[in-house]
Amino acid sequence: MTDRNQETERQRSNFVESLADYSRKQQAQRWEGSFSDYLRDIVTADPARAARSSHQYIWDMICWRGVEASKPGGAATHYKLFEDDLFGIDQALERVANYFKAASEGSEVGRRLLLLLGPPSGGKSSLVTLLKRGLEAYSHTDEGALYAIQESPIQESPLLLIPHGKQAEFKDTYGVAIGGELSPFTRALLDGKYDGDFARVPVHRIFIDEAARNAVGTYAPHDPTTADIADLVGSVDLSKVAEYGDEGDPRAWSWSGAVYAGNRGLLEMIEILKVKREFLYLLLTLTQEQLVKVSRFPLIYIDETIVAHTNMAEFRRFLQEKENEALLDRMVIVQVPYTLCYTDEARIYHKLTSTTPSFRQVHLDPHALQVAAVFAILTRLKPSERQDLDLSKKLRIHAHEAVEGISDAEAERIIREQPDEGMDGVSPRFIVNALAGAISQSESKSLTAMEVMLAIKDAIESDARMDAKVKKQWTDFLVTTRKEFYNRWVKEDVHKALFVSFQDEAQELLDKYLDEVEAVLENRKVDDPITGEERDADERFLRSVETKIGISDSGKTSFRQEIVRKALNAYKRGVKFTLAEHARLREAIEQYLFEERRDVLRLVTSRVRADTETMKKISAVEERLVNDYGYDAHSAHEALNYVTTLLAQE
């Protein structure tokens, strides 16, 4: 047997053992007993945990997964529940988390329906799915242990068994209050089967499970003309009426509605504004009062968090109807926009494509997803109030890159100047569909950034839903993406691959720049490293670097002061000031080096009458692009050809 076969066999054996271990742990977590056992063994150990509401339980789950507090400078709090799946919408995620935090503390927020509002494919459904999966995992932990009356069809809290006359004493004894009433079904069960002896009623530990409809309910609207509210709250089960003889017997009621499935946990309402108004009133009353009214029964107590989502088109229609104002007042609306950071957008594409077999078989060059992301963000941005700030600069600000003339405080103001930004534009699904089309046509099993842009252009032109004006605008955004971003990125890659010592040279140039800047700001001479003599600071050199990124003569002093401050901060932290500390200065120095070597680069990349020695150099550059910069043979060859064309045009 080969080593590879042995390793495969070992992995399979380990997996079988891990499954068996998982099953043993699942069995060990189960618990059953009478209500008296539950009160003595479970509640006494941690009364507050036993009495948690659905909002408190969800907030505890979010905290259990991990929370990193916001840092100075306005960065949003980081919630680990979302970190591997949702990118670039930290502000929206923080607002959602704040809703649960406030509701868990007993504020009025807990009496409101949470509505996620955003464009298609923006992450609303994924956000709710992460909450549901988090609840499922949390319910299997000691901290998240959840118990219910064993025979209840709606997994009711065992504490509801305590009679009203004893609830005040329970609060004095355990320090927590009980809210709510037993359902008609469980009350009939208590009186009939157990003769009112609540101490004997069996209790068991439950595990949240969407598929089993345990503490997670989901409702998706269908044809409004045939939609039945029974899908939410159940109806009479005619097959049981004959058995129990009365339609008003709670045992003859079907407790299969989505509202009951979500009791103790979460109810997801998909495209909520498409449902009938009677559905909305029922849900909002449930959120406000935690009560549901169905025919033949008294009010039924339900403790669940309702999270709904809808798109902008449906929401705008909803706003136009004045009778909906009261409904809106009972909702907490959180906008979930598309991300406006192109690096986060590229992460979304990577996530969406990394699990697809067709994508895994094709190599993407290091900028393929980035150029798609830049294009997507350009379609989502709105013009700035500042006349000197075009969309390219605004895109870089949203990616937290330094832009000449824009302070950190001003950048934050620009980011927040248009709250509705990101609520329209191209969706991730559009981009991924275009990528899939390009891959299906690729014969080389390799996709370059240029091929991605051509695929997007083709998708735009073939989209029958788009009018000519939008097509023209989006095509122009592709041109901007190529000229303002891809051209710079690919030239830098080729330049670095051509000059092996690039990083060392760049650091030496940075050190020289710092020495010259400090001399200028301190109005002192510089020791020339070659002659050993004192000389004036090399202002010509400084300006040749700074002009590469558009630093004006009037703005040079503030730029230099900023660099020195950052260098001083690095020194205080005990670290060396490198190009990684300042994106704009790194760009300037890289371009300076690139300009210095332009003639050499043009000579080496030229394939016109190239001799054997030149061809060897070209092959070496392509090899370094593959080994060090994420290209494959096809994309490296294409990148070098493209840069050659750019140089010929300059």
The 10s digit of each residue's pLDDT in 150-208 is 999 999 999 999 999 999 999 999 999 998 999 999 999 999 999 999 999 999 999 99
* Tens-digit pLDDT profile for residues 255-284: 989 999 999 999 999 989 888 888 888 888
pLDDT of residue 385: 83
Average pLDDT over residues 584-590: 85
Average pLDDT over residues 32-53: 96
- Helix (H/G/I), strand (E/B), else coil: 302: coil
Residue with the bigger pLDDT between 253 and 222: it is 253
Residue 224 — pLDDT band, cuts 50, 70, 90?
low
191 burial (CB, 10 Å; 0-12 / 13-18 / 19+) is exposed
Average pLDDT over residues 95-116: 94
Are 255 and 234 within 8 A, CB to CB?
yes
Asked if pLDDT for residue 72 goes beyond 60, the answer is: no
Give the chain's mean pLDDT: 88
Residue with the bigger pLDDT between 17 and 574: it is 574
Q: Which residues are paired to 334 by β-bridges?
A: 116
β-strand pairing of 300-301 with 291-292 = antiparallel
Asked if pLDDT for residue 11 goes beyond 80, the answer is: no
Q: What is the pTM of this model?
A: 0.83
* Residue 151: count of CB within 10 angstroms of its CB: 16
Distance CA 269, CA 310 (A): 9
pLDDT of residue 2: 65
pLDDT of residue 9: 74
Q: Identity (one letter) of the amino acid at 441?
A: Q
* Tens-digit pLDDT profile for residues 559-569: 899 898 888 88
Share of residues in the chain with pLDDT > 90 (%): 51
Range picked from 370-384, 431-445, 492-506 for highest mean pLDDT: 370-384
Residue 76 — pLDDT band, cuts 50, 70, 90?
confident
324 burial (CB, 10 Å; 0-12 / 13-18 / 19+) is middle
Distance CA 647, CA 608 (A): 13
Which segments of 309-448 does DSSP mark as H helices, in order?
312-319, 325-328, 342-354, 357-360, 368-380, 391-398, 408-416, 428-441
Distance CA 426, CA 373 (A): 10
Q: What is the DSSP string of 89-121?
A: -HHHHHHHHHHHHHHHTT-GGGGSEEEEE--TT
Q: Identity (one letter) of the amino acid at 584?
A: R
Asked if pLDDT for residue 377 goes beyond 80, the answer is: yes
Distance CA 359, CA 354 (A): 7
Range picked from 158-172, 294-308, 600-614 for highest mean pLDDT: 158-172
Are 219 and 269 within 8 A, CB to CB?
yes
pLDDT of residue 25: 64
* Angle at which helices 468-481 and 368-380 cross, to 10°: 130
pLDDT of residue 90: 92
- Helix (H/G/I), strand (E/B), else coil: 141: coil
Distance CA 399, CA 390 (A): 15
pLDDT of residue 326: 81
